[in-house]
Amino acid sequence: MNTKSHSESYAAAGVDITAGYKAVELMKSHIARTLTSGVCSDVGGFGGLFELDTEGIEKPVLVSGTDGVGTKLKLAFLMDKHDTVGIDCVAMCVNDIICCGAKPLFFLDYIACGKNVPEKIASIVSGVAEGCVQSGAALIGGETAEMPGFYPVDEYDLAGFSVGVVDKAKILDPSTMKAGDVVIALPSSGVHSNGFSLVRKVFDVENSDIKAPREELGGKSVGETLLTPTKIYVKPVLALLEQVKVKGISHITGGGFYENIPRSIPDGLGAVIDRSAVKVLPIFDLIAKTGNISERDMFNTFNMGVGMSIVVAPEDADKALEVLKANGEDAYVIGKIEKSEDKITIC
């Protein structure tokens, strides 16, 4: 830790640079969990170095993804729980990268706060590290910015980005999709990290008891259920890509089914989703009932229990389900691809 750097004037303005040094020291053990063979630098430098191993890759293509946690952070503030939102931050990036068929290599985070409380920052980073471990990515750097007067002293924002790699010949090609192909669902862990502006309004989270157990949620509270971290699908999907030809993958984020499933479907084709097959989680039923939200709007806002959809040929469907289940995913079929001018139909 740097013991000589201290500015009384800066501290008087609300920025304690020594707190930053302490936060880095506290987070080092978490970062160490994520280190992979490609990491070439230690924490604290001006850049994170990563050596790209191209063995077995003829034409490496880098794939990047960036995102934040959004207003789900408001729930973390209200629940005073900060060790899971980092998983959300990583998940939102690496789950996007895997849609191209790419393996995440490394991740960097950015935390902006009103007051740097080293223990809280370290708790946030512990979640980031856990997300990196789950996705096989190394946490090679980041930034913590103390911004008094811009953020309330007890609030922060969290964002990040990841870089992955895929052999150019193995980039997923939706143009191979055709009528009759099967749409497979990977279950979500909950609301994930999208739609929280609506969720917060529905439950009036600032003015209601979100810590009270709810029968509809199996005895869990609304707050606890909503803070369930986003599931990371990287490892099971990579395993699938090694054994089955996958034609398209969609990460179901903001905009729900209607915005995200069409993103991996070529013109002239559409996904026909069997509504009765979708295993909707109880939290979504509660949101719809409490907020009097139409089913159309629910499917156009939330993942509804499906965090990712995967398209394969009908002859590969059973093998895909077998591989996914062997890798911990309770995957199931929710529809098929048909010739259509509408990219998605839910019926």
Question: Is the confidence at residue 1, as pLDDT, over 70?
Answer: no
Average pLDDT score over residue span 282-296: 98
Average pLDDT score over residue span 176-184: 98
User: Which pLDDT belongs to residue 2?
Assistant: 58
C-alpha span between 246 and 176 (Å, rounded): 9
Cβ–Cβ under 8 Å, residues 266 and 250: no
User: Which pLDDT belongs to residue 94?
Assistant: 98
Average pLDDT score over residue span 139-145: 96
Structure tokens at 140: 């090679």
CA-CA distances (angstroms) from residue 151 to 6, 24, 83, 155, 298? 22, 21, 20, 6, 32
Q: In the chain, what percentage of residues exceed pLDDT 70?
A: 98
Backbone φ and ψ of 159, nearest 5°: -145, 175
Which ranges constitute the DSSP H helices of the chain? 8-12, 17-32, 72-79, 85-97, 118-135, 196-203, 222-226, 234-243, 256-260, 282-291, 295-299, 317-326
User: Which pLDDT belongs to residue 109?
Assistant: 98
Q: Which amino acid is at 259?
A: E
Strands 246-251 and 138-146 come out as unpaired
Closest CA to 120 of 143, 150, 145, 154: 154
User: Which pLDDT belongs to residue 8?
Assistant: 80
Residues 6+ apart with CB under 8 A from 3: none
Give Cα 130 to chain centroid, integer Å: 12
User: Which pLDDT belongs to residue 3?
Assistant: 58
Quote the pTM value: 0.95
C-alpha span between 175 and 76 (Å, rounded): 41
Over residues 246-265, the pLDDT tens digits come to 999 999 999 999 999 999 99
C-alpha span between 309 and 104 (Å, rounded): 19
Average pLDDT score over residue span 342-347: 97
Q: Which of 15-24, 64-73, 129-138 has the lowest mean pLDDT?
A: 15-24
DSSP per-residue string spanning 302-324: S-TTEEEEEEE-GGGHHHHHHHH
Q: In the chain, what percentage of residues exceed pLDDT 90?
A: 91
Question: Is the confidence at residue 297, as pLDDT, over 90?
Answer: yes
Using only C-alpha atoms, what is the Rg of the chain?
21
Confidence of residue 270 (pLDDT cuts 50, 70, 90): very high
Average pLDDT score over residue span 98-108: 98
Confidence of residue 78 (pLDDT cuts 50, 70, 90): very high
Question: Is the confidence at residue 182, as pLDDT, over 90?
Answer: yes
C-alpha span between 307 and 177 (Å, rounded): 21
The more confident residue out of 14 and 197 is 197
Question: Is the confidence at residue 311, as pLDDT, over 70?
Answer: yes
Question: Is the confidence at residue 83, as pLDDT, over 60?
Answer: yes
Over residues 190-211, the pLDDT tens digits come to 999 999 999 999 999 999 999 9
* Residue whose pair of structure tokens reads 């008087």 in the numeric block: 12
C-alpha span between 136 and 130 (Å, rounded): 10
User: Which pLDDT belongs to residue 227?
Assistant: 98
Q: What is the mean pLDDT of the chain?
A: 95
Average pLDDT score over residue span 107-134: 97
Average pLDDT score over residue span 230-246: 98
Cβ–Cβ under 8 Å, residues 312 and 247: yes
